[in-house]
Structure 1
């Protein structure tokens, strides 16, 4: 019995060491050497070293002076990075329809003179609930409100949007998108 048990225990120990210690150590150290910013969470810090957020995790902006990101399904806290989740609500779910209707009303109340069509990404949550990006249409939809609130000429605001627009991945995957945190930080730098 021991003759058969010993090789199994040794194999288990070696495989546990290889897959549980050596491989993660190799991958983590390789990532830190090859991609230090991404391995550290793509964090954004102020000039004085204060942590402002991550490029990869959406933040909850509610002031009309800022661009708003996608709604989050990580209720009750908006954009709770510790609790990534989707709502699991299908298109026929009345709760989803009610949530979308209330988000549409909130957008109309915030900017009653806006006649542009409301982009879907401003009223529907992303799958993870933490999406840091909005579409170009969502940025354009909010531009009028931001321009009036901050007294920024529309052309200058469009320049900021363009400067914070990320291209398609590998030039073919996805759509151009705007990182909301970076854009709002650029707004604060331009007009505090």
Structure 2
């Protein structure tokens, strides 16, 4: 029996060492050499402090900032651990809402968001990504149309000309990857940091 058990144990230890230790360390080491910023989490620093990641959205609620997509992430209710409460952009609980097109709760939320956004900018159609949550709830990007839609509100809150903000948005549009993959997008955190830099000038 030992003659059958020994090869199985040796194989288990060898494969655990190779696939559980050597391979992950090699891939991590190569990634840190070739893509150091990406391997470290694509962190964004400001004045020596980490303010976020370019890969994870943040909740900007002030009228003086551009807002990201709605986020359906939740967190445990401090008053009752068996329930959850909305916690936008909770990276510890990435998820969509799982609400389907016939959901009354989803229709009510979208209707409320639409009314609020139409009041902000009645002259423009509301971009769909400003009223729909992403599958992860952590999407850091919005469409250029969604960013431009918010220009009047941000300009009014910051007392900055709309033309200045449109130019700022245009300067932060990232094109399709390799000109083919994905859609043009604007990273909300990067745009809001540039907005703060604009205010310091």
The interval holding the TM-score normalised by the smaller chain is over 0.9
Matched, 1:72 2:35: no
- The correspondence for 2:138, drawn from 119, 130, 133, is 130
Please report how far the alpha carbon of residue 146 of structure 1 lies from its aligned counterpart in structure 2 after TM superposition. Answer: 1.1
Q: Match for residue 45 of structure 2? A: 45
Matched, 1:87 2:97: yes
Q: Provide the C-alpha distance between the structure 1 equivalents of 2:129 and 2:5, rounded to a whole number of angstroms.
A: 57
- The correspondence for 2:123, drawn from 108, 111, 115, is 115
Match of 1:116, SS state, is coil
**Regions of 4+ moved over 6 Å:** none
Q: Match for residue 100 of structure 1? A: 110
- The correspondence for 1:148, drawn from 132, 156, 173, is 156
Match of 1:191, SS state, is helix
Could you say what the CA RMSD is over the residues aligned between the two structures, in angstroms? 1.2
Please report how far the alpha carbon of residue 140 of structure 1 lies from its aligned counterpart in structure 2 after TM superposition. Answer: 1.3
Point out where structure 2 has 5 or more consecutive residues left out of the alignment: 75-85
Point out the structure with the larger strand share. Answer: 2
Please report how far the alpha carbon of residue 183 of structure 1 lies from its aligned counterpart in structure 2 after TM superposition. Answer: 0.4
Match of 2:150, SS state, is helix
TM (normalized to structure 1)?
0.94
Q: Match for residue 34 of structure 1? A: 34
TM (normalized to structure 2)?
0.90
Q: How many residues align?
A: 189
Q: Is the 8 A contact 2:70 2:132 kept in 1?
A: yes
The 10-residue stretch of structure 1 (91-100 or 7-16) with the greater mean CA deviation from structure 2: 91-100
Q: Provide the C-alpha distance between the structure 2 equivalents of 1:21 and 1:94, rounded to a whole number of angstroms.
A: 49
Matched, 1:178 2:186: yes
